[in-house]
Structure 1
Amino acid sequence: MATALSRLRERLQLRQVPEAGQLREIRIRAGLTQQELADELGIARASLNRYERGHRRPRGLVAERYGRLLRTLRESVA
C-alpha cells in the first residue's frame, strides 16, 4: 500500500507544470525552439504554443513528460 501511494505521489508531482510565462522562459533559456520541444514531447507545435500562452494546460501523460523534461532543462541551465 505504501509503495503504491508513493508511486501515485511521484506521478502527480511529475504532472506539475510551471505557469505559462515560465514555460516559455525555461524553453528559451535552454536554447530550444517551440518545434524542437514539441517534437521531444511528441505533440504539435501549436499545442505547445497554447500551453506557453496560457490558453491550455497539459494533462495526463503529456503533463508528465512535460514536467519531467522541464525539470531536466531547468537543472541544466541553472
Structure 2
Amino acid sequence: MAPSCPQRQGIGKATDSERVAHYRSIRCVNGKAMARVWGMAQVHVLRLAEVRAAVSSGEAERLRVEAQLSIGEVARACGVDQSTVWRWEKGARRPRGLGALAYGDLLETLRAQAAQTNRKKTA
C-alpha cells in the first residue's frame, strides 16, 4: 500500500490499540484483507505462529537437544540472550521479534537435519 494512502495518514501518532485496529481494518485493492500486524508481513506472522507452536509443544527444545546444541549456541545464532531462549523453551515467554524469526529459521534447519538423519537410519 502506498504511503500516501488516506487510510494510513496520521497512524504514526496513534496509540498501540489504535494501530492494531487500523491494521486489522485495512483492505487491499482487490478486496482481500491484508495480513499485517505492526507492519509485519504475512509470512512473518505465520512464522511466529509456527515458532510458538513448536515451543509450546516442546518440539523446539527436543530439536535443540537432538542436535546437541546448547541454549547459548542457539541464542548466539538467533541474536538473543540465552535467558531468552531458556524462557521460550520453558514457556515463561512467547517468542517475538526478529530473534524469534531467526529462531524459526534455525528450527526449520534442525527439522531438516533430523529428517535427514531419520532417513539414513531407516535406509
TM-score normalised by structure 2 residue count: 0.54
- Superposed, 1:1-78 pairs within 5 Å as 8-16=41-49, 17=51, 18-20=54-56, 21-78=58-115
Q: CA deviation at 1:72?
A: 1.1
How many aligned residue pairs are there? Answer: 76
Q: CA deviation at 1:9?
A: 2.5
Q: CA deviation at 1:13?
A: 2.1
Give a deviation string over 1:3-39, Cα, whole Å, max 9, x none. Answer: xx69933222222311342221010111211111111
C-alpha RMSD over aligned residues: 2.1
Unaligned runs of 5+ in 2: 1-27, 116-123
Unaligned runs of 5+ in 1: none
Instruction: Name the amino acid aligned to 1:44.
Output: D
Structure with bigger gyration radius = 2
Q: CA deviation at 1:50?
A: 0.5
Instruction: Name the amino acid aligned to 1:67.
Output: G
TM-score normalised by structure 1 residue count: 0.80
More relative contact order in 1 or in 2 (CA 8 Å, sep 6+)? 1
Report if the CA contact (8 A) 2:78-2:100 is conserved: no
Q: Which one has the bigger helix percentage?
A: 1
